[in-house]
């Protein structure tokens, strides 16, 4: 009988060790068929997912033997944490293991937007040699606005500061005496002021009912027409039609998106319009996908799943370290 079910592509040496310890079934495309996934949960003690599997109340109710959900990543917008806690299921995650990878990608995107690297590359490959057309800007001395100064936001701020950028930030959970802000050299400001005064704005907020659609037409209107917007967090925090309208009207100089509201995004008019713009960079949610970052993520989630199944506490968890047995399970 399967003890661990993996519904997405999670692989590596740590997973191999986990498979040697417990009866494990890996089906990387299972997330695409929720009904089939639910049908395979009988007797399963652990479910390992990334960000595509929807761990709903219905799914949890269909898994009476489930002890732990291992989320190989940081966000929990695809996991019903309240329902998992109600059922006594540990939700393990990897809150810091991919921070460096994402922060380095943001720096790469800032430089790519500033120097128009993707557009210049495409044109040169097609036989062009338009040096003056692709004149860029230096990021030294520019202001970076960080919206969400958690682990990734702070890591991004520290790296940008080392490149000579001025850092301002908005985070509703931090106050002016925040040690995290001081350590990364960020000055905390209201969101409106961050947007209105920054040359680059990078988003590092989770998707919640409060942040869904936070970056809308009104907030893009606050930004400078010379400013760039970067999102490597969650696509749902951005009103994508509003972003497209701001780009098309010249209200924004450009944007870089590693995440979309729907992933993969549909082949619709909005995606086609974004794809056709030289001042837009589109990536397939690769922020955490470095060799080092993925090794840390997989090592951590496999270690915590193994610990829970052996009756030991998880190290990184969102609710509690050990499963809580209830009368209904």
Catalytic center residues:
234, 263, 285
User: Cα–chain-centroid distance for residue 312?
Assistant: 29
72: cis peptide before it, omega within 30°? no
**Cα separation, 136 vs 139, whole angstroms:** 10
Contacts of 44 by beta carbon, 8 Å cutoff, 6+ apart: 2, 3, 4, 5, 63, 65, 66
Is 78 within 8 Å of 51 (Cβ atoms)? yes
DSSP secondary structure of 43-105: T--EEEE-SSS-B-HHHHHT-TT--EEEESSS--TTB-HHHHHHTT-EEE--SSTTHHHHHHH
264: nearest Cα among 56, 73, 51? 51
**Cα separation, 82 vs 202, whole angstroms:** 29
Q: Which helix (H) or strand (E) holds 294?
A: helix 291-309
Dihedral-angle region of residue 148 (phi above 0 means left; psi in -120 to 50 means alpha; beta otherwise): left
Q: 195: how many CB neighbours lie within 10 A of its CB?
A: 24
Is 267 within 8 Å of 126 (Cβ atoms)? no
259: nearest Cα among 109, 154, 119? 109
């Amino acid at each position: 009988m399967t003890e661990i079910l993996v519904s997405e592509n999670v692989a590596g040496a740590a997973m191999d060790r986990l498979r040697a310890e417990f009866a494990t079934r890996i089906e990387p495309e299972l997330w695409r068929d929720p009904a089939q996934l639910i049908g395979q949960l009988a007797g399963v003690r652990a479910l390992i997912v990334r960000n595509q599997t929807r761990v709903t109340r219905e799914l949890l109710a269909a898994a009476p033997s489930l002890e732990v959900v291992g989320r190989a990543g940081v966000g929990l917008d695809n996991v019903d944490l309240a329902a998992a806690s109600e059922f006594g299921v540990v939700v393990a995650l990897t809150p810091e293991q991919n921070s460096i990878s994402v922060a380095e990608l943001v720096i790469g995107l800032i430089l790519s937007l500033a120097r128009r690297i993707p557009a210049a590359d495409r044109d040169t490959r097609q036989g062009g040699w338009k040096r003056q057309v692709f004149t860029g800007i230096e990021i030294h001395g520019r202001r970076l606005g960080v919206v969400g100064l958690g682990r990734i936001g702070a890591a991004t701020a520290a790296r940008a500061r080392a490149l000579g950028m001025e850092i301002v930030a908005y985070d509703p959970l931090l106050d002016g005496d925040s040690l995290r802000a001081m350590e990364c050299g960020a000055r905390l400001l209201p969101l409106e002021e961050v947007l209105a005064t920054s040359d680059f704005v990078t988003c590092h907020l989770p998707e919640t009912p409060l942040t869904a659609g936070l970056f809308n037409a009104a907030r893009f209107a606050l930004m400078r027409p010379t400013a760039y917007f970067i999102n490597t967090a969650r696509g749902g925090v951005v009103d994508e039609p509003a972003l497209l309208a701001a780009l098309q009207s010249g209200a924004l100089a450009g944007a870089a998106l590693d995440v979309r509201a729907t992933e993969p995004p549909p082949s619709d008019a909005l995606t086609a319009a974004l794809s056709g713009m030289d001042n837009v960079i589109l990536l397939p949610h690769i922020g955490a996908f470095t060799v080092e970052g993925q090794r840390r993520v997989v090592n951590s989630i496999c270690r915590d799943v193994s610990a829970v199944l052996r009756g030991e506490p998880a190290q990184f968890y969102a609710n509690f370290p050990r499963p809580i047995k209830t009368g209904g399970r």
